[in-house]
Amino acid sequence: MKQSTRRCLALLFVLPMALTGTTAFAAELVVSAASSLTNAFRDVARAYEAAHPETHVVLNFASSDTLMRQIVQGAPVDVFASADQAAMDQAQAQGMLAAGTRADFAANQLVLVLPASSAAHVDSLKDLLGARFKRVAWGNPASVPAGRYAQRVLERAGLANALQPRAVLAQNVRQCLDYVSRDEMDAGFVYATDAALARDRVRVALRLDSPTPITYPIAIVADTAHASDAESFRQFVLSADGQTVLAKYGFLKPP
């Protein structure tokens, strides 16, 4: 018994070690991309690898702010794709971007979504003041870019104060989408790409023009050891092929 348990313990340690070795590729490109790009960039990376079989793209998804902090602290990242200009601005201010490589590669749109089961009819944002809308969700403007866009749109419509008592502020845009798709909220503000992911659970009631365009910047990290691969990946994202993949996930062309 004693020996067998010891063997069992040893196996428990050794097995994970043995099985998690990594395959070596000729060139490995680490791309840090905002988590809202998860599906789109997985596809982009697959398409890129198909065209460049010598390169392996390693995707690192997290919030744009987390990715920016990792890069600023010297994490080995080659390309940064942010969902938000502010995070890219900070990386640039810290001198982390290769000069002349920053470009907008996609745009998004803010939409008002209702639960799929909702019978409400919405013609304009003013309709949110109706008795039917008891709770409306958007991202916390202090920390969620989508929430900042929603706040600005509501302020421009002169509704921000009137809606405040009904507001539920979400910690990220996906949480906001989740609230609405579970019928916990009567309406919510999310990106068009999020709404497209939950097509069967939410209904897009309004497409909104944001006072500031919602654009996604990409850039090469100054410290990269794979400058030419990084540039070729960046070019691919901006190319017609890359844009086709992004469009499939509801991203728009940058203005």
Partner 1 sequence: MSPDIWQPLLLSLKVALWATGLNLLLGVASAFALSRWRSRLGNLLDAVFTLPLVLPPTVLGYYLLVLLGRRGAFGAWLEHWGINPVFTWQGAVIASTLAAFPLVHKAARAAFENVDAQLQSAARVLGLSHPAVFFRVSLPLASRGIVAGALLAFARALGEFGATLMIAGNLPGRTQTLSVAIYSAIEAGDEAGAATLVVVASLTCIAVLLLAGRLTRGHAPQRVA
What is the β-pairing status of strands 103-108 and 187-191? unpaired
Write the CB contacts of 146 (distance below 8 Å, at least 6 apart in sequence): 110, 138, 139, 173, 176, 189, 190, 191
- Beta carbon nearer to partner 1, 73 or 212: 73
Among 27, 49, 52, 72, binds partner 1 (CB under 8 A): 72
- Beta carbon nearer to partner 1, 33 or 214: 33
Check residue 55 for interaction with partner 1 (CB under 8 A).
no
- Give the interface size with partner 1 as a residue count (CB under 8 A): 34
Least Å from the CB of residue 183 to partner 1: 16
Check residue 69 for interaction with partner 1 (CB under 8 A).
yes
User: Quick one: 167 exposed, middle or buried, by C-beta within 10 A (0-12, 13-18, 19+)?
Assistant: middle
Residues 190-249 that bind partner 1 (CB under 8 A): 197-198
- Beta carbon nearer to partner 1, 12 or 142: 12
Residues 152-181 that bind partner 1 (CB under 8 A): 174
Check residue 116 for interaction with partner 1 (CB under 8 A).
no
- Residue pair 205/190 in contact by the 8 Å Cβ criterion: no
Least Å from the CB of residue 73 to partner 1: 3
Check residue 60 for interaction with partner 1 (CB under 8 A).
yes
CA dist 158 → 108, 113, 124, 129, 163 (Å): 23, 20, 12, 12, 10
Check residue 30 for interaction with partner 1 (CB under 8 A).
yes
Check residue 36 for interaction with partner 1 (CB under 8 A).
yes
End-to-end Cα spacing for the chain: 70
List contacts with partner 1 (CB under 8 A). 5, 8-9, 12-13, 15-17, 19-20, 22, 30, 32, 35-36, 38-39, 42, 58-62, 66, 69-70, 72-76, 174, 197-198
